[in-house]
Structure 1
């Protein structure tokens, strides 16, 4: 499932959408939207999605996200930031612009530390408040700075990454969550195989199981 998010309803001539930011001016909200925007990734994660990712439509890292989504066994959800040049031009420029991308984008890789700002900053977990924080990384020593190593199977951290407020934090991009649990169809196939293990197929035995009747000239006999 690829959700292209441009924070506007372009086909209805620029009406504000569920993902439009507060204050968005449009024909339907000329004084600015007062509605709090929905978070597609948070919605997907809350609904039980086992693969949640985020990317930018023209970013070079998007193909890797799409490949990971394709490799995932089961339904994958990807939010893709897409610029609407007619009705909401450059709404993502604050974090999508190439000249500032190093400081405004956090590219997540499984098993790699959460670093940005060309390795000078990172994301750490404050174990007292149980909240994420931006920390400085000196001389590349991210371990001393207690920077988190990304684990795509950690649902709690994935939710915190999704909820990070841009400005105070960079925009988290890449595979946020990837749960390797078996899919529904795989579980059903395994269940059927387990139920049939050690048994021989016998259609006649199945038909004759339980109460049966033999029909004779004198009538049915139990």
Structure 2
């Protein structure tokens, strides 16, 4: 059994989508990031960075003691390798998936997150920052649109690269983007949106939000006010 420490954000949904695609049972452990659950000492033993998602696999790949893994990209690689699905064996195809997974981790996710922050969460608008990150997200959408111009999925066949990117495109309107500008990206996005396991993964924990946003005025100090913890 896998314990999944989770809150319904794009990074969290990357893992639930993969778990549902793999049809794996898992124990869902709610981690209310707005209340600061991710900063509790016990959770730091699982995720030293104080972020979610994270997993504990009680029957790890290769046997032995339970293994804890944090960082969504690392979790996806681990699960795909363990179950030999959604990550090709052939070296070129494999690293095609890996490089696009890393692209999402290093570019698409962080830049979309900054666009969300400066477009929605700041109490005093910072026009330069909002414009800067909105344009960078637009550029990254363009990269993905070009990539999808001659292929059905991001890395040829359906893979963890698609599962990693899709949840960050889902809130495109909040990022100031119009999918009509990106026809190949739009085709791919709508195709994945109709896939049953993608929809199941996205919907996990939605009821915890009570129809409201992930970030509220009360949660901002917790989410955006952390500094280094010492001694």
Question: TM-score w.r.t. structure 2 length?
Answer: 0.25
From the two aligned structures, give the one with the greater helix fraction.
Answer: 2
Q: Which has the larger radius of gyration?
A: 1
From the two aligned structures, give the one with the greater strand fraction.
Answer: 1
Larger RCO: Structure 1 or Structure 2 (Cα < 8 Å, ≥ 6 residues apart)?
A: 2
Question: TM-score w.r.t. structure 1 length?
Answer: 0.25
